[in-house]
Structure formats: structure tokens, C-alpha cells
Amino acid sequence: MNEKKKALLRKYPQLASWNFSEANNYVNYSTDHSVKVNSKFLELGFNKYMALTKSGTTEMFGTLGEVMAYIADWMTRPDYVEAYIVIYYDGTKEVFVDDRNTATESYLPITNDNGNITRKGKRVQMVAHTHQESAKPGKADNAMAAKYPGLTQGIYYDGIISWYNIAK
């Protein structure tokens, strides 16, 4: 047994009688309730209380007009991050904001299922995301077009969705 472990056992004899689970629970409780530990985590950019299982926020709409009104309001928010508009073949419309989005980057979990672009099991017809600077597609837009060829994409800028398909 090394010297540090012996010193800890002398200082905290109860540790010797604990099994791994009890020791783990004690350490977790101590770090959860330590102002110093939590402050250091936050300084390092790690918020351990942030929800890790939530993938984003979804709002569903019946018409494109409702989506446009929502997005117009979204663009004026002081905590603005890019948002995705998803239009499905069944006619439903969705605005999705991933927790990882920033003012200049956005993420949309979709899959290419043998040429059918799907999200949550529904076939996607087209997608658009918001930009604050211009309607010009960037590198990430080109990458998404390459990953999902044939998917019509657009950029919402200044009240208008400019549709494009880079892959064609």
C-alpha cells in the first residue's frame, strides 16, 4: 500500500470499511455539494448539471406562415442560435434547435435511409436553417449537401428562405 493511501486511511478510517459503491456515493455527494469543485468545473467550461440526454427543442406547425412568424421572432432573441426548419412529406413543419447550436452553427439529426432522408421516422422533404449575416451557403452547408444529396435545403435570412440544392 502506498504512503498516500495509508495517510488517507489514518485520517479517514471509515474508508477502510466501505465497499466501492459506498465510497463512490460519498465522493459523488462530496463533489456535488462542494462550491470549490463546482466553481472549478464551471471555470473549465463544464456544467455537470446541464441535461445531457436532451437533444434539442422542437416546435411543430401546420403552415409555413406559422413557421415564418415564429422564425421572425426567433431572429430577434438576445440569446439567438441558429434554428432548423424541417418540412416533411406528410405536410407537417417543425422548427428544431439543437442544444449544440451557436449563432453561426447548427445541427440537425437526420438520416439517409437508402436515399430517403428521415427524421424521427418521418420522411423529410426539405430543410432550412437561419443565418444572421447572409443567405450564402457556407462550408457546413456544402458538407451537408454532400452527405444528403438530393435534399433541398435553404437558408432563412432577412425574412426570406432562399432554397437551393448544392448537390445538383
What 3 state SS string does 34-66 have? CHHHHHHHHHCCCCCCCCCCCCEEEEEECCHHH
Instruction: Tell me the CATH architecture of domain 56-164.
Output: 3-Layer(aba) Sandwich (3.40)
Question: What's the rounded mean pLDDT across residues 129-152?
Answer: 87
The pLDDT tens digits for 47-83 are 665 554 456 888 899 899 999 999 999 999 888 999 9
* Cβ–Cβ under 8 Å, residues 106 and 137: no
DSSP label at residue 30:
H
In the predicted model, is pLDDT for residue 3 greater than 90?
no
Model confidence pTM above 0.75: no
End-to-end CA distance of the chain: 67
